[in-house]
């Protein structure tokens, strides 16, 4: 399976290709898949890996203990990002979102978590960030070391 299969350039449409994750992570016992950014796929533009919304949101909903973070994240997704991306994977159709959206919904979950659940959300944030770094390494494995560094610096800008 080619991890660099072209994604549809029109937001909200499903790719005609099956796309495998660049990293199939384990986020404190739950699955979280990371994918090469559509910006990278289509235009070779440096960008952080994207995550499966369908994987991350239930993890946060369980960790937070309330639906508040989910409601906030859903509202932000609708207002800030008008072209959600879906893609076909070997496991079915998923919605993927950029790194900044993951950071935003994790921050919302942390802000709304009750004191006894904040530690778990903090661990989720740390694990997400470590795995995102691993996904970025996988996404740029074809580049020489200096090229990976330049790509990473451009992606986080």
Query: Is 139 inside a domain boundary?
Result: yes
58-84 CB burial, b ≥16 within 10 A, e <16: ebbbebbbeeebbebbeeebeeeeeee
How sure is the predictor about 113, in pLDDT bands with cuts at 50, 70 and 90? confident
Q: Which tokens go with 52?
A: 């499966």
Domain extent for 88: 14-156
pLDDT in tens, 116-133: 889 999 999 999 999 999
Q: Is residue 104 within 8 Å of residue 73, measured between CB atoms?
A: yes
The pLDDT of residue 105: 85
Residue 6 lies in a domain: no
Read off the pLDDT band of 27 (50, 70, 90): very high
Residue 3 lies in a domain: no
Q: Is residue 4 part of a domain?
A: no
The answer to whether position 52 is within a domain reads yes
3-state SS class at 33 = strand
Contact (CB, 8 A) for 40 and 154:
no
Residue 65 domain flag: yes
Domain count, the chain: 1
Any domain includes 5: no
The 10s digit of each residue's pLDDT in 41-94 is 999 999 999 999 999 988 988 776 666 666 666 666 667 666 778 899 999 999
Q: 11 pLDDT exceeds 50?
A: no
Q: What is the pLDDT of residue 8?
A: 40
- The verdict on residue 42 lying in a domain is yes
pLDDT exceeds 70 at position 141:
yes
What is the Cα–Cα distance from 18 to 36, expressed in whole angstroms?
Answer: 13
């Amino acid at each position: 399976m080619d991890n660099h299969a072209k994604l549809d350039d029109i937001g909200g449409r499903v790719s005609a290709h099956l796309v495998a994750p660049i990293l199939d992570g384990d986020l404190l016992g739950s699955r979280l898949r990371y994918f090469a950014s559509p910006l990278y796929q289509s235009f070779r533009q440096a960008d952080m890996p994207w995550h499966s919304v369908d994987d991350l949101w239930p993890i946060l909903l369980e960790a937070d203990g309330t639906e508040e973070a989910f409601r906030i994240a859903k509202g932000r997704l609708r207002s800030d990002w008008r072209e959600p991306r879906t893609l076909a994977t070997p496991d079915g159709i998923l919605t993927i979102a950029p790194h900044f959206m993951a950071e935003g919904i994790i921050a919302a979950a942390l802000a709304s978590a009750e004191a006894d659940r904040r530690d778990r959300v903090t661990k989720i944030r740390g694990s997400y960030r470590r795995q995102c770094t691993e996904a970025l390494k996988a996404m740029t494995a074809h580049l020489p070391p200096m090229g990976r560094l330049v790509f990473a610096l451009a992606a986080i800008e």
